[in-house]
Amino acid sequence: MSVSAFAEDAPAEKPVVAPMRLEVIDPYIEVHTGPGRGYPIFYVIEQGESVDVLKRRAGWYEVRSHNGKTGWAASAQISRTLQATGEPADLPSVSFGDYLKNRWRIGFTSGEMFSGELDGADLFSATASYRFYSWLGTEIEIGKIFNSGVEGDFYNANILVEPFSRWRLSPELLLGRGVMSLDSQPELTPLDIDDSDFTNYGLGLNYYLGRNFVIRGEYRRYSASTDDDKVKLESWKIGFNTFF
């Protein structure tokens, strides 16, 4: 059976308006003899080398290496290249949203409580999330809360909704549940919140920096259960995510 029988069907080639020279930031780009995974790989363009983009098909780009070798590379790899300005490749069918389709992300944030009995307490957290779609995901968060009189941990799981993930500056909604465990200094009045369940919801903004990084800022409200009532808390945080 011929190699072309395994190639992906695609519409006619469309030239890029003008050849664009990009820098490879992945470890390498695989260059195929044709626009499909069924075509053999005959050359590899390595990290840091330049590549010219000549034509495109659905999911594929015809590229030329710095030493003149011409072939086809998957758009997923071409999307992870940089222009001379350091900005991500801005090519037809490749947008910021293509980067954001990567399913796994990890991140770190820091911030501060600014209401309730934890007013002024610092927050630090680490997150791991999985995207079912570019606009919908789930997140696990582990964090620390502390100030001069309080120290503790919190753990929670959130649902993330990012309806405009294709925007470079993209709003995000979150909703979740968790637990926190807090201790106060012995000489201080005991806290209403010690070992408490809580719900939280919030609004965030993601700003795509380039390469594999997103700056993330968020405002969040918490409702923590106590023996007598529910305690309302608020926080702000800022940090970054990296995805793969």
What are the pLDDT digits (tens) for 164-217? 877 778 899 999 999 998 887 665 555 667 788 999 999 999 988 765 688 999
Contacts of 243 (CB under 8 A, 6+ apart): 99, 100, 102, 104, 105, 106, 212, 214
> Which SS3 state, helix, strand or coil, does residue 37 take?
coil
The length of the chain, given as a count of residues? 244
Structural domains of the chain in order of their starting residue, each with its CATH number? 3-94 (2.30.30.40), 104-243 (2.40.160.20)
Write down the residue that tokens 């926080």 correspond to. Answer: 235
Task: Report the half-sphere exposure of 180 (CA within 13 A, side-chain side).
Answer: 28
Mean of the pLDDT values across residues 220-229? 85
For residue 6, pLDDT over 50 is answered with no
Q: What is the pLDDT of residue 2?
A: 39
The pLDDT tens digits of the residues spanning 30-79 come to 999 999 889 999 999 998 888 888 887 877 889 999 899 999 998 878 77
Task: Report the half-sphere exposure of 163 (CA within 13 A, side-chain side).
Answer: 3
Q: Retrieve residue 55's tokens.
A: 């034509």
pTM (predicted TM-score): 0.61
Contact criterion met (CB below 8 Å) for 207 and 168: yes
What are the backbone dihedrals phi and psi of residue 100, each rounded to the nearest 5 degrees, phi first?
Answer: -75, -5
